[in-house]
Amino acid sequence: MSFTPQLPPVAKLEQKTVIDLVASGKRIDDRTADSYRPLQIQVGLIEKANGSAQVSLGKSKVLVGVKVETGTPFPDTPDEGVLTVNAELGPLASPLFETGPPSEQAIELARVIDRGIRESKAVDMKSLVLLKGKKVQVVFVDIYILDHDGNLIDAASIAALAALASAKLLKAELKGDEVVYRPGLHPLPLNNHPVAVTFAKVGKTIVVDPVLEEEQVMNARLTVTIEKNGNICAMQKGGLSGFTQDELKTVVHLAVQKAAENRAKILAAAKG
């Protein structure tokens, strides 16, 4: 069951400062409303994964590992591989996170990232079939939050795309009933490059890439995931209040621009 979360006491004390700053056109970390924090992307840190990327978005840190294994397809899609996205919000990343089964925040994060990749048809699912209806390759995207300083959705989206774009796999073939791997690595076939852009409404102002302090006092949050042709492929609103129709129109246009900027950085980093 989902219930209203508690605002940490410090956030309550900071509330007015953060809102007043944003209202006067400034932000607590000295950015403009439409700018991201410094973005760093490193790929290939985890040798045992097919693909991996660590992203720092300001002080937020996210590690994504991509593993490709053989498995069975879903009965309703016998001619497609399988994509699974999972997110881990472990207690090392924030005093707000606890051990135990995945929180609704973790589930929402994983599902929003999943939606962007799935709906934009980023991973070429048809190319992952070994034997129709019986054996396919399963792509696991595991999101590991290392440090939570706000806007985990965008950090995870960037890391997921970087990890997928840099993933290498052995060529798998079916010999009789057995899967054999041929030597020589080839890239995971990608058809699209979805990038999530998240906005927060703080007071009456909308800012991009909210830092933790802004996230804690925001009225509402909106994530818009943009695919490579500039179309929307996923959206998710969060937070206790909402957006006006005009605000949504403005935000969607800005998302297209921001997604393009970040996509260029991601693809450059993935090429290494």
- The tokens for 105 are 């925040």
Contact criterion met (CB below 8 Å) for 64 and 270: no
Which one of 14-22, 118-126, 146-154, 157-165 is the stretch in contact with other proteins (CB under 8 A)? Answer: 118-126
Q: Check residue 99 for interaction with other proteins (CB under 8 A).
A: no
Q: Check residue 3 for interaction with other proteins (CB under 8 A).
A: yes
Contact criterion met (CB below 8 Å) for 64 and 143: yes
Which one of 62-70, 138-146, 149-157, 222-230 is the stretch in contact with other proteins (CB under 8 A)? Answer: 222-230
Tell me how far, at minimum, the Cβ of 175 lies from other proteins, in Å. Answer: 34
The span from the CA of 110 to the CA of 143, in Å, is: 8
Subset of 4-33 contacting other proteins (CB under 8 A): 4, 6
Q: Which of 236, 162, 144, 157 is nearest to 199 (CA)?
A: 236
Which one of 20-28, 90-98, 113-121, 147-155 is the stretch in contact with other proteins (CB under 8 A)? Answer: 113-121
Question: Cβ contacts of residue 132 below 8 Å, gap of 6+?
Answer: 78, 79
C-alpha to C-alpha distances, 129 to 78, 155, 193, 194, 217, nearest whole angstrom = 8, 30, 21, 23, 46
| Choice from 44, 71, 189, 239 touching other proteins (CB under 8 A) | 239
Q: Check residue 171 for interaction with other proteins (CB under 8 A).
A: no
Rounded CA Rg of the chain: 19
Written as one letter, the residue type at 193 is H
The span from the CA of 215 to the CA of 234, in Å, is: 20
Match 């054999």 to its residue by tokens. 180
| Choice from 110, 122, 163, 196 touching other proteins (CB under 8 A) | 110
Which one of 2-10, 44-52, 180-188, 262-270 is the stretch in contact with other proteins (CB under 8 A)? Answer: 2-10
Q: Check residue 238 for interaction with other proteins (CB under 8 A).
A: yes
Nearest residue (CB) to other proteins, 42 versus 219: 219
Tell me how far, at minimum, the Cβ of 113 lies from other proteins, in Å. Answer: 12
Instruction: Catalog residues that contact other proteins under the rule CB under 8 A.
Output: 1-4, 6, 104, 107-108, 110-111, 115, 118-120, 220, 222, 227, 230-245, 248-249, 252-253, 256
